[in-house]
Structure 1
Amino acid sequence: MSITLPEGGSVPKPEGGAVPKKRKFNRFVNNPVIEDYSLRYAPKSFRTWSQYAVFSAALGGIAYLADQAIGGSLAVQYGFTNAFYGILAAATVIFLTGIPIAYYCAKYNVDVDLLTRGAGFGYLGSTITSVIYASFTFIFFALEGSIMAQAFLLYFGLPLPYGYALASLLIIPLVAFGMTLLSKLQVWTQPVWLFLLFSPPIAVLAVDPHAISQWTSFAGSSPSGTAFNPLLFGAAAGIALSLIAQIGEQADYLRFMPDKTKQNSIGWWLAVLGAGPGWVILGAAKQLMGSFFASVAFNHGTPLAKANEPIQMYHAGFTAMFGAGMVAISVATFFVVLSQIKINVTNAYSGSLSWSNFFSRLLHAHPGRIVYIFLNIGISLTLMEANMFSFLGKILGFYSNVAVAWIGAVVADLVINKPLLKLSPSYIEFKRAHLYNFNPVGFGSMVIASIISVAAFFGLFGAYAAAFSSFIALGVAFVASPIIAIATKGKYYIAREATYAAGVDHSTLNCVSCGYEYEKQDMTSCPFHAGSICSLCCSLDSDCGDMCKQPHAAPVLSYGTPPVV
């Protein structure tokens, strides 16, 4: 027996004639302001922000001082010359790899987790990248929280363990309401933050004409002094490359971009490039600023071991503006706290999205994005209490190998396998019903690149391979992806043809499982439920056995054809 659906076509009833249970979500999942379509395509009806608002919110998300801390640490550890060229090399790689990711996320209105699924990793294959991305958010939340706690210690005398807890608790109420509140927070605070960011270096240069020469001759604790050393340059670039996963946080904003049209094409591209890969232009400038301020702080009496702390840097900077005293330290503390709030709401928000994706696929349950805010912040607080700031370079150096391998595999799929080899679909398919669980193209190339680069990082292939292990990760992933795509003839991308009108049709359908209405791009036809089902209900179903992808499954409904890019 079969059931005829409103869209036309027919599907079989589940075995035994049993009717699958209707799914009910809790109030957090049902509230779009709180949930923010965390596991879904962002529908046009929800994307009400202008290009400028998305651009400004995305740039506000990089208001962190980790750049300054990293730049200062590199200058202290490797000296000015190696830090300078390492920062520029890493920024170039990050900018180029960020372009295709930003474009596809903005065009198809998906976050980096959903993008990864359709860029060669498969439905379950991308779970590991969800953890990689979640690791980025809690590592940098911990780093930013540590920086805020250092400011609390200097200004209020609050011991670091209590400062870590306060820095974490401040974020929870701000991030609970997602993009709706985050966009306003970032826009409102942007002018003040920009003024406080750029005025101290100008003031330092005005009162100390020797500051630049002292910076360029700053050797820190480098064994090579200020001379260029390939090994130290490679190590510095590798640490800076740990920030490559920041494009994921930018994509969490870019998925809310309005549709690209002929009328808004120029502004759309400027917003995507500026808020996407463009973050690293400001990021690299901030890292160089951090190396500059480490020199300034050291030359004004700060111990070398503390010269990489942003609160020390900006205390020295604002002292040049206001003179020694409470005004300088008060403004420096305000700036540090403001910066850390602006970034850690983004870290907590992005981490909640990534953990939601991870657990929904493994456990077939979704209590709501807001629940995972507490998980992400809890892990971050644990890292802070373990004093991760003291071994920052080692953590970031190791992490960058895996993060670069992931990004390299995704970019290779987007720029080679899709447009050139045409073995990968031209569009982004993220729904469980249409994907194989594992695609060896992206997943395999990332694993291979990670294993080789991590082995290199720990010295298995010699000193030079250890110094340039992150670049090895990028190169191996970029080469392995198209090779595996050719070897498998791209057959593991799509398990079943798409049944939605992607990119053009914003009409809606009711989900047969939860009963709510979603745009067709978030829907598929389901033989188990005998109707149209939304992507989240499809992800959470633990009883269907993926019957829609089995060879004997009845033909599925057609809601349109995938777009041609």
Structure 2
Amino acid sequence: MAEKLNPQVSQNSKEEKKEDYALEKVPKHYRMGWWSVTNVALGVATAMVFMQMGSLMAVSYGAMNALIAEIYATVIAGVLGIGIAYLAAKHGMNVNLLARGGGFGYIGASITSFIYAINFIMYCAIEGSIMAFAVYEYVQVIPIWILMVFFGLAVIPFNWFGMKQLDKLQKWSLPIFIILLGAGMIVAANMAPTYAGDVWSYLPEGAQVGGTALLTCIGIINGLVGIMALLISDYARFVKPEQFKLGVFAVGFIPQLVCFFIMGLIGIWFGVRFMEDNPGVYFVHIIGIFGALFTILTQIRINITNLYSGSLSLSNFFENVFKFTPGRTFWVVFTAVAAVIAMLAGALDYLGPMLTFQGVFLFAWAATIIADAFVVKRALRIGPMYFEYEQEKLYKWNPVGVVSLIVASTIGTMAAFGIMGTFLQNTAAFFAAILSFVLTIVLAVASKGKYYVKTDIDNVPKDEDIA
């Protein structure tokens, strides 16, 4: 107890592991300033995958369709992100812990933790591959598999001590990122482009603005919208209570603005100008070795956050199901090794179907948590008015969240693979979110909230947990 009242992370290894608060809420004395928390979250937003998504959509479906999709993503991810950030900062928990008392039960929440962890393993593999191919583009004497192993494992040390280490790394690397990005844009603007026409009027042959092309772009980007909205909780839970309003807005919205609107637009510009959808390739061609360094820097910034969120999810899953708690740093290594195996096994060849399902699942999960928090708990006052996370006070399963998520994800996935027509195929994630939102409310009313906690000790809002 004394350690929790006076945390000094550097004093001993036990407290260094405690720093992460992977399995419990973050106490108020350990909260951080809003800019430090936002700074860590921005490490995600500067990932090349967001530039690549803009380039890919623009080259394949037209610049204007890509732009509209990026605006859509900014708005939807911003709204969801602010809602999730509000809950995380208010209760000091990420979505893994919120799910326990938010309609899933502690075993039911393990479903979300496991699939969430797989998501981060796949993203680690994506970012590691981008690094590997960027360096290979410049130095082809080194086999690509060696580069994959190296870059997959090299980020482990950067993630050893949790949020405070992440904050320092992101602060030190941000100025370098901005300088190299600016240099790339200046050099590119003075190079002869592959496509000499107006970037924003570019359309592939046979495409048009709107219609199926735009819906396809929205379908492509939904997976990233879902993950960005949810992972914000891993960082927003550290916001200081006295900075609650500013922190919730900053952490919930600014990363979404940067990753979808700013980085997305930059990706569109580069992609159309050079008719290339891989930023790791065109940055190397533009500024040579500095392009490779830029790629490595951006991917390290994102992969340390991928490892962090992945390790939290795996910690929750194995603690919930198997009572196996070796510490978050163990799961950092596990996540990195799993990502390397995924790269080497060619799992990225099946990335499209995986991201399609992830978009549906993550939208449905976010909708369930928001419906439970703002409608079931607050408006209808069903069940406890707070998010319980301690296993001994929870049922293993709560049908409210579990059934809502499974039904919405199943139907949404069917829609995403074209079974229900073109429109729902490309709006499947949004469709799954609406379905999950409604089902959560209906099932909570039908069950009268009796599966939330075993013993409702104080059936009132825990105002001491509210910033």
TM-score of the pair, normalised by structure 1: 0.74
Residue among 208, 221, 233 paired with 1:240: 221
Counting only pairs closer than 5 Å after superposition, residues 183-332 of structure 1 correspond to structure 2 as 183-201=167-185, 204-205=188-189, 213-220=197-204, 224-225=206-207, 227-243=208-224, 244-260=226-242, 264=243, 268-284=244-260, 285-298=262-275, 307-315=276-284, 319=286, 328-332=287-291
2:194, 2:135 → 1: CA distance? 31
Residue among 372, 376, 397 paired with 1:438: 397
1:412, 1:199 → 2: CA distance? 45
SS in 1 for 2:253: coil
2:402, 2:90 → 1: CA distance? 23
Partner of residue 462, structure 1: 421
Kindly provide the amino acid, as one letter, of the partner of residue 256 in structure 1.
F
| Residues 1:127 and 1:395: Cα distance change in structure 2 (over 3 Å) | same
2:182, 2:372 → 1: CA distance? 38
Shift of 1:231: 2.5
Counting only pairs closer than 5 Å after superposition, residues 41-80 of structure 1 correspond to structure 2 as 41-47=25-31, 49-80=32-63
Range that drifts further, 424-433 or 109-118: 424-433
| Residues 1:201 and 1:479: Cα distance change in structure 2 (over 3 Å) | farther
Partner of residue 131, structure 2: 148
Partner of residue 148, structure 2: 164
Range that drifts further, 458-467 or 369-378: 458-467
Residue among 409, 426, 430 paired with 2:368: 409
Partner of residue 496, structure 1: 455
Kindly provide the amino acid, as one letter, of the partner of residue 123 in structure 1.
Y
Partner of residue 558, structure 1: none
Residue among 426, 436, 440 paired with 1:477: 436
2:385–2:460 contact (8 Å) kept in structure 1? no
Deviations 1:261-306 (A, max 9, x none): xxx4xxx3222222223311111121232122111222xxxxxxxx
| Residues 1:464 and 1:55: Cα distance change in structure 2 (over 3 Å) | closer
1:343, 1:239 → 2: CA distance? 20
SS in 2 for 1:289: helix
1:413–1:424 contact (8 Å) kept in structure 2? no
| Residues 1:478 and 1:212: Cα distance change in structure 2 (over 3 Å) | farther
2:460, 2:159 → 1: CA distance? 33
| Residues 1:217 and 1:245: Cα distance change in structure 2 (over 3 Å) | same
2:259, 2:430 → 1: CA distance? 20
Kindly provide the amino acid, as one letter, of the partner of residue 238 in structure 1.
G
1:233, 1:418 → 2: CA distance? 37
2:373, 2:213 → 1: CA distance? 32
Kindly provide the amino acid, as one letter, of the partner of residue 279 in structure 2.
P
Residue among 75, 84, 100 paired with 1:92: 75
Kindly provide the amino acid, as one letter, of the partner of residue 466 in structure 1.
Q
Shift of 1:422: 1.8
CA radius of gyration, larger in: 1
Counting only pairs closer than 5 Å after superposition, residues 536-555 of structure 1 correspond to structure 2 as none
Kindly provide the amino acid, as one letter, of the partner of residue 306 in structure 2.
N
Residue 367 in structure 1 maps to residue 326 in structure 2: yes
| Residues 1:313 and 1:391: Cα distance change in structure 2 (over 3 Å) | farther
Counting only pairs closer than 5 Å after superposition, residues 373-452 of structure 1 correspond to structure 2 as 373-390=332-349, 392-452=351-411
Deviations 1:396-435 (A, max 9, x none): 2232111211112112222222222222533221111222
SS in 1 for 2:30: coil
1:564, 1:282 → 2: CA distance? 28
2:90, 2:425 → 1: CA distance? 38
| Residues 1:471 and 1:279: Cα distance change in structure 2 (over 3 Å) | same
Shift of 1:228: 2.4
2:131–2:295 contact (8 Å) kept in structure 1? yes
Shift of 1:351: 0.7
Deviations 1:219-261 (A, max 9, x none): 35xx642x1242332222122111212233322222222223x
Residue 173 in structure 1 maps to residue 157 in structure 2: yes
1:348, 1:204 → 2: CA distance? 32
Residue 333 in structure 1 maps to residue 292 in structure 2: yes
Kindly report the root-mean-square deviation, in angstroms, between the aligned alpha carbons of the 2 structures: 2.6
Shift of 1:454: 0.9
SS in 1 for 2:93: coil
| Residues 1:289 and 1:389: Cα distance change in structure 2 (over 3 Å) | farther
Deviations 1:29-56 (A, max 9, x none): 9622134221111123433x32322222
Kindly provide the amino acid, as one letter, of the partner of residue 336 in structure 1.
T
1:427–1:564 contact (8 Å) kept in structure 2? no
1:332, 1:69 → 2: CA distance? 15
2:435, 2:212 → 1: CA distance? 20
1:390, 1:198 → 2: CA distance? 32
2:180–2:294 contact (8 Å) kept in structure 1? yes
Partner of residue 310, structure 2: 351
Deviations 1:526-556 (A, max 9, x none): xxxxxxxxxxxxxxxxxxxxxxxxxxxxxxx
Deviations 1:360-419 (A, max 9, x none): 111112111111122211221122123455554443223211121111211222222222
Range that drifts further, 381-390 or 450-459: 381-390
2:193–2:274 contact (8 Å) kept in structure 1? no
Using the aligned pairs only, state the percent identity: 32
Shift of 1:149: 0.5
1:424, 1:211 → 2: CA distance? 59
Q: Structure 2: state its 5+ residue gaps.
A: 1-11
Number of corresponding residues: 452
Kindly provide the amino acid, as one letter, of the partner of residue 337 in structure 1.
I
